[in-house]
Structures are given as structure tokens and as C-alpha cells.
């Protein structure tokens, strides 16, 4: 992805990431998947980790756009975000689900699971499947070993917008900031598919 891509608004980046590829070229082998679900976290959003200003954990969010913000959630899972907005603003896009592409065997081993549709169908799952951890926090996502590359064009009519889940702040939960490829079979829980069947 070119740097200019990440300087769009956070919502535009969240939509634009759908259909592109997340690639992790680790020493255990190359794994990749197509991004099928994202979530936007904006300035002034009470659910945003950066809501109350920069802290040790969220510092990478306030850096330049196009780098990874990774954190540990519930003591056991990592979540991967792409930072957006200019330096000094704490905005980011959470990668919520992938369609596995390369290195599927490696992913199955890491997840101890054979069901490909469930391999990366959630933010904690995809980081586990791809072998992503805190050492990649702050990494520039346009260079190896972890990077995002241009993928297929997703027609806007295929994109569905929904509310975010897993957020405790009631007012922030209702915002339409979750974006998914409606006909994908690899979405996380809580998304109604367009052609369910």
C-alpha cells in the first residue's frame, strides 16, 4: 500500500482496506489473507483506546499513519490495528477478519483448527493464525516482515456497515463503524451476511 492511501480519512481507510492482503513473512513461513472486515476508531470516540490522549500502550497510534498498533486484550489475545490520520491524532482501523490465502497449513497448526472459515474470523483469531505478537507493535506496514498489499477491488455495493460489538460504552457501541464484505464466508461473529445460505 502506498503511503498516500493511509492519509485518507480513517473511515475511508477502513473501507479501502477491504479486499487488500495482509502478509506476514515470518521465519516459520509465509502466511497471508484477504481483509474482509474492519472497524474504525476515531478521535472523540469513547471506545477508542486513544480517547484520553497518548499513553505508553497507545503511543504508536499517535505516530504517523500506516504502522501497526498491536495490543493484548483479555490477557490472552492480540489485536492488530493500522494507524491512520496525521501524527498527533490517535486514530486507527482494527483488522477484524481475513480470508486465509497463503500458508493455510501453518495457520491451522497455530490455531489447532481445520475449519478454514473460522481460522481468521475474529481479531484475536487472525493474529494467532498469522503469528503476530507485540514485537511487531509500531512496525511500518509497507515493509516486510508484516505488510499490506493491494488486492482486489471491492464494489461499494458489496460492503455492509454495522455497529461494533464487544464495546462497553453504550453510546459508542451504536456507531456504524464496522465494515465487512457482505458476501464473504469468513466474517466474525455478529455480522449478518447479505446472502445467508
Q: Which residues contact DNA by CB under 7 A?
A: 39, 41, 47-50, 52, 55-58, 61, 69, 71-77, 79, 81, 92, 94, 111, 113, 118, 122-125, 164-169, 188-189
Question: Please, what is the minimum distance in Å from the beta carbon of residue 125 to DNA?
Answer: 4
CB 139 within 8 A of CB 68: yes
Q: How far is C-alpha 5 from the chain's CA centre?
A: 15
CB of 8 to DNA, least distance (A): 18
Minimum distance from residue 176 beta carbon to DNA (Å)? 15
Nearest-5° Cα angle at 144, 117 to 59 = 90
Pick between residue 133 and residue 144 the one whose CB is nearest to DNA.
133
Q: Considering the complex, what minimum distance in angstroms separates the CB of residue 86 from DNA? A: 17
Nearer to DNA by C-beta: 20 or 188?
Answer: 188
3-state secondary structure 67-118: EEEEEEECCCEEEEEEEECCCCCCEEEEEEEEEEEECHHHHHHHHCCCCHHH
Q: How far apart are CA 163 and CA 150, in angstroms?
A: 26
If the CB atoms of residues 9 and 55 are measured against DNA, the closer one turns out to be: 55
The residue (of 118 and 158) whose beta carbon lies closer to DNA is 118
Amino acid at each position: 500500500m502506498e503511503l498516500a492511501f493511509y492519509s485518507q480519512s480513517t473511515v475511508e481507510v477502513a473501507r479501502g482496506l477491504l479486499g487488500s492482503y495482509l502478509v506476514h513473512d515470518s521465519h516459520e513461513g509465509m502466511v497471508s489473507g484477504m481483509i474482509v472486515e474492519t472497524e474504525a476508531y476515531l478521535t472523540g470516540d469513547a471506545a477508542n483506546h486513544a480517547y484520553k490522549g497518548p499513553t505508553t500502550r497507545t503511543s504508536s497510534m499517535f505516530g504517523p499513519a500506516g504502522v501497526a498498533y498491536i495490543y493484548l486484550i483479555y490477557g490472552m489475545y492480540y489485536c492488530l490495528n493500522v494507524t491512520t490520520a496525521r501524527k498527533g491524532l490517535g486514530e486507527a482501523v482494527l483488522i477484524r477478519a481475513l480470508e486465509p490465502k497463503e500458508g493455510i497449513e501453518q495457520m491451522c497448526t497455530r490455531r489447532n483448527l481445520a475449519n478454514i472459515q473460522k481460522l481468521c474470523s475474529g481479531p484475536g483469531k487472525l493474529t494467532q493464525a498469522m503469528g503476530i505478537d507485540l514485537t511487531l507493535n509500531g512496525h511500518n506496514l509497507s515493509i516486510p516482515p508484516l505488510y499490506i498489499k493491494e488486492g482486489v477491488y471491492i464494489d461499494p455495493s458489496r460492503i455492509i456497515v454495522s455497529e461494533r460489538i464487544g464495546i462497553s460504552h453504550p453510546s459508542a457501541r451504536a456507531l456504524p463503524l464496522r465494515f465487512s464484505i457482505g458476501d464473504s464466508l469468513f466474517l466474525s461473529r455478529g455480522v449478518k451476511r447479505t446472502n445467508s445460505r
